[in-house]
Amino acid sequence: MGVTKDQVEASLKAKLNPSHIEVIDTSGGCGASFEIEIVSEQFEGKRLLERHRMVNAALEEEMKEIHALSIKKAVTPEQWKQQQESTKPDAAAA
Amino acid sequence: MATINLSSTHTFPCLRSLSSLPRNTPALSFNSQVKAKPSLSLRSISLKPYNTGSDKPRTWLVASAVKNLGETDPIVLPGNEEAAAEVPSGTGVYAIYDKNDELQFIGLSRNIAASVSAHRKSVPELVGSVKVGVVDEPDRETLTQAWKSWMEEHIKGNGKVPPGNESGNATWMRQPLKKKADIQLTPGRHVQLTIPLEELIDKLVKENKVVAFIKGSRSAPLCGFSQRVIGILESEGVDYESVDVLDDEHNYGLRETLKKYSNWPTFPQIYLNGELVGGCDILTSMYEKGEVASSFKK
């Protein structure tokens, strides 16, 4: 039995204190493959590589079972805000 | 009647040039549609040249995406291969003519200018001029149709496939990048290493500018993430070395040792100047920001 989405979320929440988190199970139910979007203040001043390392470290236990982990986003709350705004140009124009 | 067997390897050069692109995961399949639409008459469809505005609504008649081959004006390429040629850099279909105006090859490309420039470097004697049909909204179907319509038109007129599109002809395939072999860290599992594997890895990433540790070989990656990494590096023209972490005969123990060496739990892993850049997600994000060529080719 693999890891569940809830386990992944719980570990990330406990260790990175995210202000936003989205975990998608892309394995089709076997729990071996996840996509992650995470927003945390702890990423401030860190390069993308270091941010990914933090996520990987937070999931150290789970990684033993996870086959594929795709970190789609690892951003700071500030970057997140900007990205949210820039993806809604229509709303701003209307 | 001249027919073309589109399910055969005639399409191979094009398949190769497209399949090395990132995200283009499913292989193009040329085999079904031609026979399904036997009455497709190219001349009766309104055709638009590539450089007119995009104000026209997009028609679902995909064959209209490019002009007829016969109606397209050739762009003559200067003899000096360094000289700039005015080939558009968009996506579409292109036909290469030699200096005697014999059609040599019809290809598809995501960057026609780059493909033509590569052909001029690799086979200058066969490249005299080029006809280009840029496809404005290049989806797979439209591109395939554009390529097929030019092939059919040529075959109708000449009774044969362009020499470069003949099965087994590799002249126009992207060779320099594909030719490189994956690096093998050891001669084989039976050979006792005299230095630790970790040192081998260290030497390897420091002595080569770009190294990609992937699952499978560079010509046949075995995992989607590795495939995307190869696709990005090749489409950006990055010169890189590759190591197959699944090759337990020549790279025995590499997976576990490399994970410790890099403190990174997954593959692929991409190194630049001896430092870990990251995995597929990080490379993809660099690619989307247009940073790959500038970072990796300096």
- Let me know: does B212 contact B242? Beta carbons within 8 Å: yes
Average per-residue pLDDT for chain B = 79
- Contact A48/B285, CB-based, under 8 Å? yes
Residue A15, chain B, CB below 8 Å: the answer is no
Chain A hits for B276, Cβ within 8 Å: 49
Residue B231 above 70 pLDDT? yes
Chain B: residue nearest A64 by CA?
B265
Residue B1 above 60 pLDDT? no
SS3 string of chain B?
CCCCCCCCHHHHHHHHHHHCCCCCCCCCCCCCHHHHCCCCCCCCCCCCCCCCCCCCCCCCCHHHHCCCCCCCCCEECCCCCCCCCCCCCCCEEEEEECCCCCEEEEEEECCHHHHHHHHHHHCHHHCCEEEEEECCCCCHHHHHHHHHHHHHHHHHHHCCCCHHHCCCCCCCCCHHHHHCCCECCCCCCCCCCCCCHHHHHHHHHHHCCEEEEECECCCCECCHHHHHHHHHHHHCCCCCEEEECCCCCCCCCHHHHHHHHHCCCCCCEEEECCEEEECHHHHHHHHHCCCHHHHHCC
Q: Give the pLDDT confidence score for residue B40 in this predicted structure.
A: 42
Chain B hits for A50, Cβ within 8 Å: none
- Contact A52/B280, CB-based, under 8 Å? no
- The token duo for A89 is 């140009």
Mean predicted confidence (pLDDT) in B275-294: 93
Chain A: residue nearest B271 by CA?
A49
Mean predicted confidence (pLDDT) in B158-177: 82
Across the interface, of A48, A53, A69, the residue whose CB is closest to B263 is A53
| Segments making up each domain of chain B, as ranges | 9-172, 180-296
Residue B179 above 70 pLDDT? no
- Let me know: does B197 contact B205? Beta carbons within 8 Å: no
Q: Give the pLDDT confidence score for residue B282 in this predicted structure.
A: 95
pLDDT in tens, A32-71: 889 999 999 999 999 999 999 999 999 999 988 888 889 9
- The token duo for B94 is 């292109």
Number of other CB atoms surrounding residue B223 within 10 Å: 18
CA atoms within 13 A on the CB side of A85: 6
Q: Give the pLDDT confidence score for residue B81 in this predicted structure.
A: 56
Residue B298 above 50 pLDDT? yes
| B38 vs B273, higher pLDDT | B273
User: For an interface test with B, which of A33, A65, A70, A83 has the most B Cβ atoms less than 10 Å from its Cβ?
Assistant: A70
Q: Give the pLDDT confidence score for residue B175 in this predicted structure.
A: 56
Q: Give the pLDDT confidence score for residue B132 in this predicted structure.
A: 93
- B88 band by pLDDT with thresholds 50, 70 and 90: confident
- B27 band by pLDDT with thresholds 50, 70 and 90: very low
Residue B177 above 50 pLDDT? no
- Let me know: does B259 contact B199? Beta carbons within 8 Å: no
Mean predicted confidence (pLDDT) in B217-227: 91
Across the interface, of B265, B266, B281, the residue whose CB is closest to A72 is B281
Q: Give the pLDDT confidence score for residue A1 in this predicted structure.
A: 57
Residue B163 above 70 pLDDT? yes
- Contact A70/B280, CB-based, under 8 Å? yes
Residue B35 above 50 pLDDT? no
Residue A20, chain B, CB below 8 Å: the answer is no
The domains found in chain A, sorted by start residue, are 5-93 (3.30.300.90)
Residue B199 above 80 pLDDT? yes
Residue B212 above 90 pLDDT? yes
Distance CA B93, CA B115 (A): 11
Residue B257 above 90 pLDDT? yes
| B56 vs B107, higher pLDDT | B107
Q: Which of B52, B30, B234, B229 is nearest to B149 (CA)?
A: B30
Residue B82 above 80 pLDDT? no
- The token duo for B122 is 């690799």
Give the percent of chain B with pLDDT over 90: 45
Q: Which residues of B touch A (CB under 8 A)?
A: 225, 263-266, 276-282, 285
Q: Give the pLDDT confidence score for residue A51 in this predicted structure.
A: 96
- Contact B265/A52, CB-based, under 8 Å? no
Q: Give the pLDDT confidence score for residue B180 in this predicted structure.
A: 82
- Contact B265/A56, CB-based, under 8 Å? yes
Across the interface, of A49, A63, A72, the residue whose CB is closest to B265 is A63
Q: Which of B293, B295, B266 is nearest to B281 (CA)?
A: B266
- B16: exposed, middle or buried (Cβ count in 10 Å: 0-12, 13-18, 19+): middle
Instruction: Give CB contacts under 8 A, 24+ apart, made by B111-117.
Output: B111/B235, B112/B87, B112/B88, B113/B85, B113/B87, B113/B88, B113/B89, B114/B89, B114/B237, B115/B17, B116/B77, B116/B85, B116/B87, B117/B85, B117/B87
What is the least distance, in Å, from the CA of A94 to any CA of chain B? 23
Across the interface, of A52, A60, A63, the residue whose CB is closest to B281 is A52
Q: Give the pLDDT confidence score for residue B64 in this predicted structure.
A: 57
- How much is the pTM? 0.55
Chain A hits for B264, Cβ within 8 Å: 53, 56
Work out how many CB contacts closer than 8 A connect A with B.
28
What is the least distance, in Å, from the CA of B294 to any CA of chain A? 17
Tokens 């927003």, located at residue: A39
- Contact A53/B277, CB-based, under 8 Å? no
Q: Give the pLDDT confidence score for residue B246 in this predicted structure.
A: 95
- B201 band by pLDDT with thresholds 50, 70 and 90: very high
- The token duo for B79 is 């003899």
Chain A hits for B229, Cβ within 8 Å: none
Range B180-296 has CATH code 3.40.30.10? yes
